[in-house]
């Protein structure tokens, strides 16, 4: 399951793990004009881990999901 919320300065997507097995904590993606942040709570460390991707890196990630192993360059970057 996931939710999408449009806030003043960002679009927030929350991914909720569902199922019967071991479930991961929610993943929260904040899409700003200049970057994307990905956050997930780690109960072992009792803290939230956060990474920041440029818009270009996010585009590369989206493209990479559909491609086989290799090294690629996207046009227009």
Does the residue 73 lie in any domain? no
Query: Average per-residue pLDDT in the chain?
Result: 93
pLDDT of residue 77: 62
Average pLDDT over residues 22-34: 96
Q: Which two tokens stand for residue 21?
A: 């097995």
- Residue 76 lies inside a defined structural domain of this protein: no
Residue 70 maps to a domain:
no
Q: Are 57 and 74 in contact (CB under 8 A)?
A: no
Q: What is the pLDDT of residue 21?
A: 87
Contact at 8 Å (CB) between 63 and 45?
A: no
Q: CB neighbours of 73 closer than 8 A, spacing ≥ 6?
A: none
Model confidence, pTM:
0.84
In a domain, 71, yes or no: no
Domains in the chain, number: 1
- Domain residues for the domain of 46 are 2-64
Q: Predicted confidence band at 52 (pLDDT cuts at 50, 70, 90)? A: very high
Whether the pLDDT of residue 63 is over 80: the answer is yes
Q: What mean pLDDT is predicted for residues 22-47?
A: 96
Residue 25 domain flag:
yes
Pairwise CA distance, residues 63 & 70, whole Å: 12
């Amino acid at each position: 399951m996931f939710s999408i919320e449009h806030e003043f300065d960002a679009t927030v997507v929350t991914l909720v793990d569902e199922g019967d097995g071991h479930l991961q904590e929610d993943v929260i993606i904040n899409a700003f004009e200049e970057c994307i942040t990905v956050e997930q709570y780690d109960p072992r460390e009792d803290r939230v881990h956060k990474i920041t991707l440029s818009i270009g890196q996010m585009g590369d990630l989206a493209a990479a999901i559909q491609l086989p192993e290799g090294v690629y360059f996207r046009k227009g970057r």
